[in-house]
Amino acid sequence: MKEVAIPEALGGESFELEAHEGWLDWVASVDHKKIGLMYLFSSLIFFLVAGVLALVMRIQLAIPDNHFLSPAMYNQIFTMHGTTMIFLVVVPALVGFANYLVPLMIGARDMAFPRLNALGFWAQAFGGLMLYFSFATGAVNGGAPAIGWFGYAPLSETAFSYGPGVNYWILGLLGIGVGTLTAGINLIATVICLRAPGMSIRRLPLFVWMTLVTAFLIVLVMPILNAGLVMLLVDRLLNAHFFRAGSGGSAVLWQHVFWSFGHPEVYIMVLPAFGMISEIVPVFSGKPIYGYDFVAASTVAIAFLSLTVWAHHMFAVGLGHTFDLFFGFTSMAIAVPTGVKIFNWTATMYQGRVRFTTSMMFAVGFLLMFTIGGLSGVAFAVVPIDWQLTDSYFVVAHFHYVLFGGTAFAVFGGAYYWFPKMSGRMLDERWGKVHFWLTLIGFNLTFMVQHVLGMLGMPRRVFTYPPLPGWEAMNMISTVGAFILGFSVLIFIVNVVVSLRSGKVAGDNPWGAWTLEWATTSPPPEENFAHGVPPVRGRRPLWDLAHPDRTDEMMMKLAG
Amino acid sequence: MCLQFPAPEGYASRVRDGISLVGYDAFCTPPVVGVAMPGPYTANAFTLAPVSPQADAISQLFVGTLIFLGAILALVTFLVIFAVIRYRDRPGAPEAQQKFGSRKLELLWTVVPILSLVVLAGFMVRTMAVCDPPTADAKPDLRIVAHQWWWEIYYLKTGVVTANEIHIPVGKRLLVDFRSADVIHDFWAPDLGRKIDIVPGHPNRLWIEADRVGTYLGVCAEFCGNEHAWMRFLVIADPPERFAAWMKEQGAAPPKPVTADEQLGAKIYRERICTNCHMRSVGPDLTHIASRRTLAAGALENTPANLAAWLHDPDDFKPGSNMPNFKLSDEEVHALVAYLETQK
Amino acid sequence: MPDKTMPEKTLPENTMPDRTKVGVGLFLLSEGNFFLILLITYVYFHSMPGDGPSASSSLNPMHTLVFSICLFLSSATIHLAGRSFKLGKRRAVSGWLALTVALGAIFLCGQVREYLGLFAHGVSINTNLFGSTFFTLTGFHGLHVLIGLFALAALLGIAMSGRLGEIKPSGFEAVSMYWHFVDAVWVVIFTVVYLWPLVA
């Protein structure tokens, strides 16, 4: 029950507001915290769905020439696995965290456009439903789209995909895209317009900073995808010729348009994760992030460069050595600012006091797993190596290392870190550690061997393979790893469910952290800061408050 | 739902279609009776076991790059593990030092990576020229047309047409001109060198060469639909005399059918107008089918038993392939196999 | 008690950018990119030889210029409506808004007439690449004009019913920015699609 007082001048009584929250409070909510949690919940559901799809794929691939799935079914499943993970799991998870945390971290009451925020979430949910509805349209050649998550033309044209599946894919992505785009607009407007006094741009928590840069990428590249999708839809439904080589169209054009979106999209999927690591590692090392300015600046560099590398997905298309070289150079260049971050995160731990909470373990795991994935990415920037290994299991290994070993590890780290703030309770640390080790082991078992499979010539997106030496054993290892990974997710979910009910009470600041979200209750009240926002005179407001004799500003001056 | 494992030796019964899920007609395809596993898959392809100068150039660059990247990984791993052990929180550990950064270090770990990448880029430029020699000026020796889900191969100088199996003379490089009949495919024989996309409306060319006699595995490496997994090919590098002999055989007219079975098979082949597809590039040219190692672009080893099984129901092996099930009787299949086996 | 600041009281409004302007500006940036891709696609295919109807054979730049001028003028009229809005002149606002709506509607009618003419000559979205790119590019622009007309009509309705004060300045500004954007996109499209064949 919440007591609401009416001022004397208006009658002076008080009444009690029902605090009971029904489902309608959630559905009709425009509060960024509720919307953020709904994004996270939706992301988790789709994570389970896409995870099951992956396990089904791995069953089919466990042995050569398997007949568990027909090729048509397998091809739909791998398409939906990829599309779901990217558009309905990773991006919404990051948008969810951003939604929840950014206003709190800048001392604001809500996002700049609360109603737009809600519209975005429900558009995303609707788009997801439309995408999955395609399974139910199954007829002999219908059903879900079977074109891969990047839907190359002309395979995605009507002539070669003549069921409604691809149309649902397009419409679903357009709907989901509304959610992503509005989130991007909202985040930028919020960070630019609603910061608490004293919170200059250079004092933004790095999670906010990286989310801001991500939001700019979203605003710039979602429309590119929309344009491509629209042209494909017009080709399919109105018999236009954009991507039909037979009538003068260009299959390569689709690739240019798609990857101009698609490459920045993968940075959209990783930059907020970098932001989470930038919050977690300092707190559990007990010292500020090393090289804040460089971590921030390198983020901007990555964003700019990400717009110049797209055709490294097209090295095998045969567009000429000059063309390939240009994109090879830019793709190598983008490794540099990423490396700068890895070194700064590592340096943050030096001369600190590292606390091995589950959150920190995932962050450290991120450092190693993402480095592996990033380095295999550098291998792909070397054009001739790409010419051998693109479209093989080596690239499947690469992107799972950066997306799972990278983003997913960071998101798990973020989950353990911010769950107390969101729910008021701690996740169980012991089960968290079990979750971490099972994840690390399962993940590496699943994907490390895939590097070798790629080098042995196993192409990607194949529903089966012949019994070549070593392929059988490695695929079986990969399948076993996948099931361990699946099991680890179950442990996480049980931890969440049980801790929501009976976890240890968290208090305002269980980790002794320093950014503004920890300056309010757990969970925060609807207006975020019931007793006002603490003064912001540095990057770590709560540190400064607790150590008025050695604030960050003072110490930075001393260091020179 | 059926969880299938490959049929053990002597598996006797045939299992019909499994459960149909919301209208799919083949959620499970049944295991096949008495058919050997697809071959000849005893040797592997391997990007680090090159058999051509092109593949060798890439392989060397790859090894060098792997060593370079491995060194970086080792360094980062060491730095991280060292940090978490040395600076772990424990009773008596010193206070965390509130440090904010170091311009010098930032410079170091920006400039050193840049310089290393410049070196790597230099090697890259050199390798590109070697592993993908220019193709514009020479005349192509082969034309390969990629179809869903088979390879059509033309030897432009001799007029020989074949499918799914490319013979080349050892030590001589041939220029291939690639076309697509439908969607984007990709030609990849890892032992021989780079892969190249085959894009409708965007012809590509590639030099292929093998320095050692052998059979090299190739795959389609761009998802092209239902049976992308079984769009495999073989590159067979023969000594020059054997290659010349092969070319001669392929160019000669196949022997006429002799036995009653063969003649019946020939008759069925005409009357069921198999030529409608198989001589019009809808399906692979069968003129010398008996001389090939595999059927259905690598899905099956080329044996009479397999050929018979394929003719009975192509969907058993390659569901979704464009070859219809002609519902042939056992006698018809027997005759056709007899006929086709003469087409060497 | 350390000094705290209520979150509602962020820095005074006039030192932080207006959130509506920022939001609409970002939205227009993203829409601009959308049109940019369609435009690049048009240019790419236009610069390649092709069969069938083309811009030079099928389009009439003079006719299109006539109703395009109406759209360009409507940017001026909405600007004047905005000035009157700031001064609180209800009748002037209604007048200028009505004129803007009318000019925009004339533009759309002109486009519809043009489309009908093209259909009559066998030029449609599926005819060839010119048809596909032309109708997609101009069609989406027309759709944006239509949506803009709805927004303008809403403003007009509120103004005419005497409730001008209920329109937030940032809201009026948002519609105005959108309308200018739609106009600017047409300047580019008109130049590239209609004028370029005359000189190339």
pLDDT digits (tens, 9 = 90+) for B154-179: 999 999 999 999 999 999 999 999 99
Total structural domains in chain B? 3
Instruction: Tell me the per-residue pLDDT of B99-128, one tens digit each, with 9 for 90 and over.
Output: 999 999 999 999 999 999 999 999 999 999
Q: Does the beta carbon of C21 lie under 8 angstroms from any beta carbon of chain A?
A: no
B276 and B318 fall within a common domain: yes
Which of A116-120, B43-47, C133-137 is predicted with the least confidence, judged by mean pLDDT? B43-47
Judged by CB atoms closer than 8 Å, whether chains meet at A194 and C10 is answered as yes
Assigned domain for B278 exists: yes
Q: Residue with structure tokens 């091995």?
A: A356
Q: What is the pLDDT of residue C88?
A: 87
> Which helix (H) or strand (E) segment is A110 a member of?
none
The Cα-based distances of B188 to A391, A560, B175, B295 in angstroms read 10, 57, 15, 19
Which of A392-401, B314-323, C21-30 is predicted with the least confidence, judged by mean pLDDT? B314-323
In angstroms, the CA B187 to CA B164 distance is: 11
CA count, 13 A, side-chain hemisphere, B324: 9
> A219, A229, A176: which is closest to C27 by C-alpha?
A219
Domain that holds residue B336: 260-341
Q: What is the pLDDT of residue A1?
A: 55
pLDDT of residue C43 exceeding 80: yes
Sign of dihedral through CA atoms C17, C21, C26, C29? Answer: negative
Q: What is the pLDDT of residue B39?
A: 52
- B31 within 8 A of B15, measured Cβ to Cβ: yes
pLDDT of residue C185 exceeding 50: yes
The Cα-based distances of A380 to A221, A317, A437, A443, B212 in angstroms read 23, 15, 29, 21, 28
Q: What is the pLDDT of residue B37?
A: 41
Q: What is the pLDDT of residue A136?
A: 87
Helix pair A335-349, A271-285: axis angle to 10 deg = 20
Phi, psi of C11 (to 5 degrees): -55, 150
β-strand B142-147 against A14-17: which pairing, if any? unpaired
CA count, 13 A, side-chain hemisphere, A236: 25
Cα dihedral angle (A4, A7, A11, A16), rounded to 10 degrees?
0
Q: Does the beta carbon of C53 lie under 8 angstroms from any beta carbon of chain A?
A: no
A148: alpha, beta or left, given left = phi > 0 and alpha = psi -120 to 50? left
Distance from CA of C142 to the nearest CA of A (A): 15
Cα dihedral angle (B320, B324, B329, B333), rounded to 10 degrees?
-90
Q: What is the pLDDT of residue A20?
A: 62
Q: What is the pLDDT of residue A142?
A: 53
In angstroms, the CA A127 to CA A171 distance is: 7
Provide, as residue numbers in chain B, all residues whose Cβ is less than 8 Å from the Cβ of A155.
183-184, 223-225
Provide, as residue numbers in chain A, all residues whose Cβ is less than 8 Å from the Cβ of C23.
112-113, 116, 185-186, 189
pLDDT of residue C15 exceeding 80: no
Distance from CA of A363 to the nearest CA of B (A): 11
Q: What is the pLDDT of residue A231?
A: 98
Provide, as residue numbers in chain C, all residues whose Cβ is less than 8 Å from the Cβ of A238.
125-126
List chain A domain ranges: 2-559
User: Residue B193 corresponds to which tokens in the numbers above?
Assistant: 């060198």
Q: Which residues pair with B150 in a beta bridge?
A: B147
Q: What is the pLDDT of residue B7?
A: 34
Neighbours of B155 (CB within 10 A): 18
- Pick from A186, A190, A222: CB nearest C30: A222
Residue A399: CB partners within 8 Å, gap ≥ 6? A266, A373
Q: What is the pLDDT of residue A137?
A: 86
Q: What is residue C15's DSSP assignment?
A: G
Neighbours of B282 (CB within 10 A): 12
Q: Residue with structure tokens 């369609």?
A: C38
- Pick from A113, A193, A534: CB nearest C17: A193
Judged by CB atoms closer than 8 Å, whether chains meet at A240 and C6 is answered as no
Q: What is the pLDDT of residue B309?
A: 92
In angstroms, the CA A413 to CA A359 distance is: 4
Q: Does the beta carbon of A227 lie under 8 angstroms from any beta carbon of chain C?
A: yes
Residue by residue, pLDDT tens for chain A (560 residues) are 567 777 777 766 666 666 667 888 899 999 999 999 999 999 999 999 999 999 999 999 999 999 999 999 999 999 999 999 999 999 999 999 999 999 999 999 999 999 999 999 999 999 999 999 999 886 654 589 999 999 999 999 999 998 899 999 999 999 999 999 999 999 999 999 999 999 999 999 999 999 999 999 999 999 999 999 999 999 999 999 999 999 999 999 999 999 999 999 999 999 999 999 999 999 999 999 999 999 999 999 999 999 999 999 999 999 999 999 999 999 999 999 999 999 999 999 999 999 999 999 999 999 999 999 999 999 999 999 999 999 999 999 999 999 999 999 999 999 999 999 999 999 999 999 999 999 999 999 999 999 999 999 999 999 999 999 899 999 999 999 999 999 999 999 999 999 999 999 999 999 999 999 999 999 999 999 998 999 999 999 999 999 999 999 999 988 87
Q: Does the beta carbon of A383 lie under 8 angstroms from any beta carbon of chain B?
A: yes
pLDDT of residue B22 exceeding 60: no
The Cα-based distances of A196 to A110, A204, A541, C170 in angstroms read 12, 10, 12, 22
Q: Residue with structure tokens 């945390």?
A: A101
CATH 1.20.210.10 assigned to domain A2-559? The reply is yes
B114 and B148 fall within a common domain: no
Between chain A and chain C, the number of residue pairs with CB atoms below 8 A apart is 140
The count of residues in chain B is 344
For domain C19-47+60-199, which architecture applies? Answer: Up-down Bundle (1.20)
Q: What is the pLDDT of residue B279?
A: 87
In angstroms, the CA A71 to CA A59 distance is: 13
In angstroms, the CA B69 to CA A378 distance is: 8
Q: Does the beta carbon of B314 lie under 8 angstroms from any beta carbon of chain A?
A: no
Distance from CA of A26 to the nearest CA of C (A): 24
Distance from CA of B301 to the nearest CA of A (A): 11
Which whole number is the average pLDDT over B126-145? Answer: 95
> Which helix (H) or strand (E) segment is C78 a member of?
helix C61-87
Beta-strand ranges (E) seen in chain B are 142-147, 150-155, 161-163, 165-169, 174-180, 185-188, 196-198, 204-208, 214-220, 232-238, 294-295, 300-301
- B47 within 8 A of B60, measured Cβ to Cβ: no
Q: What is residue A403's DSSP assignment?
A: I
Residue B283: CB partners within 8 Å, gap ≥ 6? B150, B277, B322, B323
Omega before residue A524 within 30° of 0, cis: no
- Residue C128's pLDDT band, with cuts at 50, 70 and 90, is very high
Residue ranges in A392-470 assigned as alpha helix (H):
393-400, 409-423, 429-455
- B146 within 8 A of B198, measured Cβ to Cβ: yes
B206 and B276 fall within a common domain: no
Cα dihedral angle (A145, A149, A150, A154), rounded to 10 degrees?
-20
User: Residue A143 corresponds to which tokens in the numbers above?
Assistant: 């059903």
In angstroms, the CA A425 to CA A523 distance is: 9
Q: What is the pLDDT of residue A18?
A: 60
Cα dihedral angle (B30, A82, A335, A362), rounded to 10 degrees?
-100
Q: What is the pLDDT of residue A559?
A: 82
Choose one of B240, B270, B290: the last residue of a domain: B240
Assigned domain for B166 exists: yes
Instruction: Tell me the per-residue pLDDT of B192-225, one tens digit each, with 9 for 90 and over.
Output: 999 999 999 999 999 999 999 999 999 999 999 9
Which whole number is the average pLDDT over C140-167? Answer: 94
Phi, psi of B179 (to 5 degrees): -130, 155
Contacts of C among chains (3+ CB pairs under 8 A): A
The distance of Cα C17 from the centroid of its chain, to the nearest Å, equals: 24
Q: Which residues pair with B188 in a beta bridge?
A: B219
Residue B75: CB partners within 8 Å, gap ≥ 6? none
Q: What is the pLDDT of residue B24?
A: 29
CA angle A57, A59, A65 (to 5 degrees): 95
β-strand B142-147 against B174-180: which pairing, if any? parallel
User: Residue B82 corresponds to which tokens in the numbers above?
Assistant: 């060292």
In angstroms, the CA C189 to CA C40 distance is: 11
Provide, as residue numbers in chain C, all residues whose Cβ is less than 8 Å from the Cβ of A223.
30-34, 37
pLDDT of residue B18 exceeding 60: no
Helix pair A429-455, A409-423: axis angle to 10 deg = 160
Phi, psi of B28 (to 5 degrees): -120, 135
The Cα-based distances of A409 to A277, A367, A415, A439, B37 in angstroms read 10, 9, 10, 9, 40
> In the predicted model, what is the mean pLDDT of chain B?
87
Instruction: Tell me the per-residue pLDDT of B326-343, one tens digit each, with 9 for 90 and over.
Output: 999 999 999 999 999 999
- A307 within 8 A of A443, measured Cβ to Cβ: no
Q: What is the pLDDT of residue A17?
A: 62
DSSP, collapsed to helix, strand or coil, labels residue A21 as coil
Assigned domain for B39 exists: no
In angstroms, the CA B223 to CA A398 distance is: 18
